[in-house]
C-alpha cells in the first residue's frame, strides 16, 4: 500500500489537490482518510467546554487511532473511520467502513506533526497558499458549511488559527517531499504525484 500524506494550512486547498490527484485514477484503487475525522472524542465535556477546545493544536487530534487505522489498512484489515461533527464538536455514533486500497491519501493540517504518522507516509506533500487566500477560503467555508458568523471566524483566525499555523503547520513544510503552490492550478506537481501513484498501482 502506498500512503501519501497531504498537509497544508487551513484553506490552502488540500481537498482540491486531493480531488485533482484522484481524477483519472481508478476509484477502487484509491482511498482517503481525513484528519478531520480523527479529532478526539470528548463526550465527558459540555458543549460550551468543547467550543473552547483549540482544534488547531496537535493535542486535539487522536493520532494514536489514525496511526493504528493506517497500520490496520496496511495489513489488509477493514477499519471503521470515525465521523466527526463540527456542529456539536464531537464524534457522532456513525462510522465509515473503509477498506484497504492500493493507495491511501491522508489529508489534514497537522498530519506532519506526528513522527509515528510521518513514518507511515511514502510521499509527503505540502500545499502552500497565501495567508490572505487561506483566510478568505476559511471564511466562506465556515459561514456556508459550518454555520459560523463572520465575527466568530475572524476572532478564531486571529486568536488561534494564525498563531497555530505559524507554530505547528508552516514549520512542517520542511518534512515535505513535494511542495505544491496552490495560488494557481499547478499541473506539474499534481502530475508528478499522480505518476508516482500510477507507477505503484500499475
Multiple choice CATH, 2-201, 3.40.50.720, 3.20.20.10, 3.40.50.300, 3.30.565.10: 3.40.50.300
Sequence-distant (≥ 6) Cβ neighbours of residue 37 within 8 angstroms: 81, 82, 83, 84, 96
The answer to whether the CB of 31 falls within 8 A of the CB of 79 is no
d(CA 114, CA 181): 23
d(CA 66, CA 88): 21
Report residue 108: phi and psi, to 5°.
170, 160
The answer to whether the CB of 47 falls within 8 A of the CB of 88 is yes
d(CA 3, CA 106): 7
The answer to whether the CB of 16 falls within 8 A of the CB of 128 is no
List the pLDDT tens digit at each of the 202 positions of the chain.
Answer: 999 999 998 877 888 888 888 887 888 889 999 999 999 999 899 998 998 888 889 999 999 999 999 999 999 999 999 999 988 888 999 999 999 999 999 999 999 999 999 999 999 999 988 777 778 877 888 888 777 888 888 887 887 888 888 999 999 999 999 988 875 566 788 888 888 888 877 7
**HSE-up of residue 14 (Cα within 13 Å, Cβ side):** 24
d(CA 73, CA 76): 5
Domain ranges of the chain: 2-201
The answer to whether the CB of 181 falls within 8 A of the CB of 125 is no
Among candidate residues 2, 1, 3, the one with its CA nearest the CA of residue 107: 3
Sequence-distant (≥ 6) Cβ neighbours of residue 156 within 8 angstroms: 148
**Angle of helix 14-22 versus helix 187-201 axis, rounded to 10:** 50
Amino acid at each position: 500500500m502506498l500512503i501519501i500524506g497531504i498537509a497544508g494550512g487551513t484553506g490552502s486547498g488540500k481537498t482540491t489537490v486531493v480531488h485533482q490527484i484522484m481524477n483519472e485514477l481508478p476509484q477502487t484503487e484509491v482511498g482517503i482518510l481525513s484528519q478531520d475525522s480523527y479529532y478526539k472524542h470528548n463526550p465527558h465535556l459540555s458543549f460550551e467546554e468543547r467550543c473552547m477546545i483549540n482544534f488547531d493544536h496537535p493535542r486535539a487530534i487522536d493520532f494514536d487511532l489514525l496511526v493504528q487505522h493506517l497500520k490496520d489498512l496496511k495489513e489488509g484489515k477493514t477499519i471503521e473511520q470515525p465521523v466527526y461533527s463540527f456542529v456539536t464538536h464531537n464524534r457522532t455514533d456513525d462510522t465509515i467502513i473503509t477498506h484497504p486500497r492500493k493507495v491511501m491519501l491522508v489529508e489534514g493540517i497537522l498530519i506532519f506533526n506526528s513522527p509515528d504518522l510521518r513514518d507511515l507516509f511514502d510521499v509527503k506533500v505540502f500545499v502552500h497558499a497565501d495567508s490572505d487566500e487561506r483566510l478568505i477560503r476559511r471564511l466562506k467555508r465556515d459561514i456556508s458549511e459550518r454555520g459560523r458568523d463572520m465575527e466568530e471566524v475572524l476572532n478564531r483566525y486571529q486568536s488561534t488559527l494564525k498563531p497555530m499555523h505559524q507554530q505547528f503547520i508552516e514549520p512542517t513544510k520542511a518534512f515535505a517531499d513535494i511542495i505544491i503552490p496552490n495560488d494557481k492550478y499547478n499541473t506539474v506537481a499534481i502530475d508528478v504525484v499522480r505518476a508516482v501513484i500510477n507507477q505503484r498501482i500499475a
